[in-house]
Amino acid sequence: MYQLENGWVQSVKQVPSPNYDLRPENIEISLLVIHGISLPPGIFDNEFVEEFFTNQLDHTKDPYFEQLINLKVSSHLYIKRSGEIIQFVSLDHRAWHAGLSEYNGRSNCNDFSIGIELEGTENIKYTNQQYMSLIELSKCCIHNYSKLTIDRIVGHSKISPGRKTDPGMLFDWQYFLNNLALKF
């Protein structure tokens, strides 16, 4: 199982993002949000997501990037198609991944959630390597944050309905949750 040190997952690539801030006082992590992203959409195996989350994206490299100018976003973790994990923000800090959001009557999900991005799109299946990495990361998060449970893992679409649809219909929730449950 992965180990945490000051909110940083040990033995994964760390690429610190400036796009974070402190969580509000007395707020415990109690939600894990799964996202899907690729830049440009449907194009994989490049460094554009890492560059985007660290404000280094060259907006002239693709016409799609023009709409991302001045956006400051991040996720705690990103899982590439190969299963490689990259961490951008300490889990103890607030990453800027959820945007306008609500879960069980609580707004501003960034305050109390961990965001994990999967490299992909809604119309392409995620890889087995991504599921394996996601399962291990989820296990680590649940083990380290007592308010986080298997039933408090959701897609971005659940907390931002009508605005977001990721990780998409091809994300295999049953496979993911069944295999995660086997780890406990």
Angle at 120 between CA 159 and CA 112, to 5 degrees: 30
Task: Let me know: does 24 contact 100? Beta carbons within 8 Å.
Answer: no
Helix pair angle (128-144, 173-181), 10° resolution: 50
Task: Let me know: does 78 contact 85? Beta carbons within 8 Å.
Answer: yes
Catalytically annotated residue among 47, 50, 102, 117: 117
Beta strand ranges found along the chain (DSSP E): 4-5, 8-9, 13-14, 20-22, 31-37, 77-79, 85-87, 93-95, 102-103, 106-107, 113-119, 153-155
Q: In a 3-state reduction of DSSP, which class is residue 117?
A: strand
Q: Is 50 a catalytic residue?
A: no
Q: How far is CA 183 from the centre of its chain?
A: 20
- 67/102 Cα distance (integer angstroms): 25
Identity of the amino acid at 91: L
Among all residues, which ones are annotated catalytic?
117
